[in-house]
Amino acid sequence: MRYGPAVRRRKLGAELRRQRELTGMTSRQAADAVGWHQSKVSRIETGSSGAKPADVARLLDAYRVSDPELRALLGALCGADSTGPGDGGSGSRRGWWYAYRDLLPSAYLDFISLESEASRSRTLETTVVPGLLQTPAYARAVTRAALGDPPERQVDELVRVRMARQSVLRRPRPLELCAILDEAVLRHEVGGPEVMAGQLGHLLDTGRLSHVRLHVLPFARGNHIGITGPFVIFSFPRIADLDVVVLDHLTSSLYLERKEDLRAYGAAFTTLRAHALSHEESLDFIAEIAAGHARTRTP
């Protein structure tokens, strides 16, 4: 288990090595092509050293990689768009989250960056609604509960970040989201009945989007492997080796990137989805709980 930046360096290096090998170039030839020492290419490819966006762009130019989607993805894996200003060179860019670099821990910035570049997200939640599906009122209640008694300004900014993250579901090529929700997620009255009623309605609305799939694990289904805790699996366009599993903790996020970990969590997610209600059944289940909330709120 490693923190995000180490995972990003390793995955960036592995893909750059693959692109070099596709050209038939040795690491020495690649170094000569860009005017570096061979050791710099080797350190980048093994993930032992970071790379600037301009460095990645020079290597991709040498390897004649013109695919803009691939170049953007590998540029994002540099981490400069989430943790630093870049060097102004080719391939340098900043994500919207850069403006919050003084507020958010680096692990969260890295998570947002990966989420923004991912093409698919598979998530299991056992206690709260996933961040991408939260309403502002629900996000505010969750933030207050997680941080104790934070200043109101801090809560406002963190909720603003949470809402900005949801833009991945509205972009021209939206993130494909498949979320498995334990029934407890729907039963916990976060923020009170009114906030929860609004959140359940929002789940129903978002669940009707073609690129969002919700699956509920009812209490009646008994114990399941998901009781070990929530996780997220990010997948990226066309490159399966870049998949990352993220485990959220109270103060940090841990990233799993070994192939055996990816296989294990991928298999666990598939098993959980088969154990859960179908998407259509889940929407009906959520609607039933929402109707119950409406009845209890009626004088």
130-141 per-position pLDDT tens digit: 999 999 999 999
User: What pLDDT score does 155 carry?
Assistant: 93
pLDDT band at 69 (very low <50, low <70, confident <90, very high): confident
Count CB-CB contacts under 10 A for residue 279: 17
User: What pLDDT score does 252 carry?
Assistant: 57
Q: Are 126 and 182 in contact (CB under 8 A)?
A: yes
194 CB-side CA count, 13 A: 2
Kindly report the pTM of this predicted structure.
Answer: 0.80
Place of tokens 């290597």: 59
Q: Are 147 and 104 in contact (CB under 8 A)?
A: no
Of residues 251 and 51, more confidence is placed in 51
Residue 175 phi, psi dihedral angles, 5° rounding: -65, 135
Instruction: Return d(Cα 71, Cα 77) in angstroms, integer.
Output: 10
User: What pLDDT score does 16 carry?
Assistant: 94
7 closest CA partner among 66, 78, 91: 78
Mean pLDDT of the chain, nearest integer: 85
User: Does the structure show a pLDDT above 90 at 34?
Assistant: yes
User: Does the structure show a pLDDT above 60 at 93?
Assistant: no
Identify the bridge partners of residue 232 per DSSP, sorted by sequence position: 123, 246
